[in-house]
Amino acid sequence: MVCRLLGRALRKAANAADVVGRGQRTITAADTSCCSHQHSRCMSSTASSSRSVNLKSDTVTEPTPEMRQAMLTAQVGDDVYGEDPSVDKLQKTAAKMFGMEKALFVPSGTMGNLISLMVHCWERGAEVLLGDRCHILLFEQGGLSQVAGVHPREVKTFADGRLDLDDLRSKVREDDIHYPVTSLICLENTHNMFGGRVLRPDAIAEISSVAKSLHLPLHVDGARIFNAAAALDVPVSELLVGIDSVSVCLSKGLAAPVGSVIGGSEKFIHRATRVRKLLGGGLRQAGVLAAPGLIALEVMSKRLHEDHILAKRLSEGCHAMKELGLDSSPETTETNIVIFSLDKAVCGYSAAELVDALGEEDPSVADESGKRFLLFAISDTQVRAVTHYQLTLADIEAFLARLRRTLSRR
Ligand SMILES: Cc1ncc(COP(=O)(O)O)c(C=O)c1O
């Protein structure tokens, strides 16, 4: 029933979605055809709660009923001794999907990145080249310096998430006792702060060949790399060709309650296991977390395109409110993150003020658009909205109606 309604709503939106930019995919009947009982929305335990729609992040997703059942019945053992069969299965499955020798379950994406950096920068005095808007640099408390003793060096990042290779080459250190030793290059795919932009295989091949010529390993913060794979309709392993290590979050759009998986060579994972223990990330009966993680990889990764359809619609809806001082870029909305910008002189709101206004219920209307809509202000003029499996097209339409009404009132 829910799926039939979703299908109807999507078809309605397809008719309404008259602003479809170059290279964009129009919503088609094929997108709406469901459903096996595995359909994500059929599995949703709680859609957005009755009076709020949570667009803050895909980290707000709750485990599906199938995940909860798997947690209940998971076979477990002491994973610090490598004796948890559920963790073992998750790691083997992940390594196969990544096309890498080995994988390791870790508690979070932040720890996954930190462990990876510490393994690549095994010797003191190391420096990492990383994008100037990347998550490792901006939102991980400077863990690479604070914990790992590694020096960060920023590289200019283009709006599509690619590093500027000329800038990168110019930042590689000469062998000089005054300098740290350039030891690693980091990428982010998809790129969070650039609105979920996807790094494509050709761009990855280009930087990989530069890294090889410089004899530097390449790490990818792939917190949302399954979104990139879904957007390109390729296996995730295709985005890891020429990459030395990756950290992938299970607890974002893939909806597992906890955890990330890092992948790399056997030698890399051997060292990573040591570092994980050092950081307090060695977990005992972790199978209760690995079991939903396996569903995240095998089931939830296959439905991410549904989130991308919702994000595209949201972005189109924002773009259509230009005259109200709002804008967004549907042609660059490739995955599940939408960043829309505000012109306060026109709309009367800073990003924080708009987020506050939308975060309150609107008692003047009885319909869905009167709910609380939760979002994230990422600067004075930019708001981030993220779609995920617990949202429906009806939620997005209600959000757009509320946005239009709020902006029209000022
Ligand atoms: C791109 C990116 N990398 C890493 C992380 C860190 O993941 P975690 O919250 O699991 O530590 C996030 C979290 O939002 C992220 O967006």
Note whether 227 and 201 are within 8 A (CB): no
| 6-20 confidence digits (pLDDT tens) | 444 343 333 333 222
Are residues 363 and 242 part of one domain? no
- Ligand 1 centroid to Cα of residue 58, in Å, is 10
Q: How far apart are the first and last CA of the chain?
A: 39
How far lies 133's CA from each of 136, 155, 236, 252, in Å?
9, 9, 23, 20
Q: What is the C-alpha to C-alpha distance for residues 172 and 188, in angstroms, rounded to an integer? A: 19
* pLDDT grade for 202, boundaries at 50, 70 and 90: very high
Task: Determine, yes or no, domain membership for 60.
Answer: no
Q: What is the pLDDT of residue 23?
A: 29
Closest to 103 (Cα-Cα) out of 236, 223, 262, 281:
262
Note whether 91 and 289 are within 8 A (CB): no
Are residues 315 and 291 part of one domain? no
Are residues 283 and 308 part of one domain? no
Q: What is the mean pLDDT of the chain?
A: 90
Mean pLDDT computed over 126-143: 98
Are residues 16 and 91 part of one domain? no
Q: What angle do CA 93, 32, 299 make, to 5 degrees?
A: 10
Number of structural domains (the chain) is 2
- Ligand 1 centroid to Cα of residue 242, in Å, is 22
CATH of the domain at 326: 3.90.1150.10
Mean pLDDT computed over 378-384: 97
* pLDDT grade for 314, boundaries at 50, 70 and 90: very high
Angle subtended by helix axes 287-298 and 85-98, to nearest 10: 30
Question: Which atom belonging to ligand 1 lies closest to the Cα atom of 221?
Answer: 3
Rg, Å, the chain Cα set: 22
Q: What is the pLDDT of residue 3?
A: 40
| 213-236 confidence digits (pLDDT tens) | 999 999 999 999 999 999 999 999
Closest to 225 (Cα-Cα) out of 203, 206, 197, 205:
197
Instruction: List residues near ligand 1 (CB under 6 A).
Output: 108-110, 135, 188, 192, 221, 223, 249, 251, 260
Task: Determine, yes or no, domain membership for 173.
Answer: yes
| 232-288 confidence digits (pLDDT tens) | 999 999 999 999 999 999 999 999 999 999 999 999 999 999 999 999 999 999 999
**Token pair listed for 273:** 């296991």
- Ligand 1 centroid to Cα of residue 210, in Å, is 26
Q: Report strand pairing: 126-131 vs 181-188.
A: parallel
Full domain range(s) for residue 176: 66-298
Atom 5 of ligand 1: nearest residue by CA position: 109
How far lies 151's CA from each of 126, 148, 179, in Å?
6, 9, 10
Are residues 293 and 329 part of one domain? no
pLDDT at 1 over 90: no
CATH of the domain at 139: 3.40.640.10
Boundary (domain end) residue, out of 235, 264, 298 = 298
Cβ-Cβ contacts under 8 Å for 235 (sequence gap 6 or more): 97, 99, 229
Are residues 334 and 253 part of one domain? no
Are residues 279 and 231 part of one domain? yes
Q: What is the pLDDT of residue 48?
A: 58
Torsional sign, CA 284, 285, 289, 294 = positive
Boundary (domain end) residue, out of 255, 272, 298 = 298
| β-bridge mates for residue 372, sequence order | 52
Atom 16 of ligand 1: nearest residue by CA position: 192
Mutate to test the pocket of ligand 1, among 135, 219, 226 (most ligand atoms within 8 A of CB): 135
pLDDT at 394 over 50: yes
Are residues 329 and 243 part of one domain? no
Mutate to test the pocket of ligand 1, among 252, 260, 262, 336 (most ligand atoms within 8 A of CB): 252
| 58-112 confidence digits (pLDDT tens) | 999 999 999 999 999 999 999 999 999 999 999 999 999 999 999 999 999 999 9
Q: What is the pLDDT of residue 409?
A: 85
Counted residue by residue, the chain has a size of 410
* pLDDT grade for 51, boundaries at 50, 70 and 90: confident
Identify the H or E element spanning 119.
helix 109-120
Sheet architecture: strand order including 181-188: 102-106, 260-264, 245-249, 218-221, 181-188, 126-131, 151-155
Are residues 273 and 142 part of one domain? yes
Boundary (domain end) residue, out of 264, 298, 332 = 298
pLDDT at 204 over 70: yes
Q: What is the pLDDT of residue 13?
A: 35
Are residues 210 and 94 part of one domain? yes
Could you tell me where the DSSP H helices lie in 214-265? Answer: 225-232
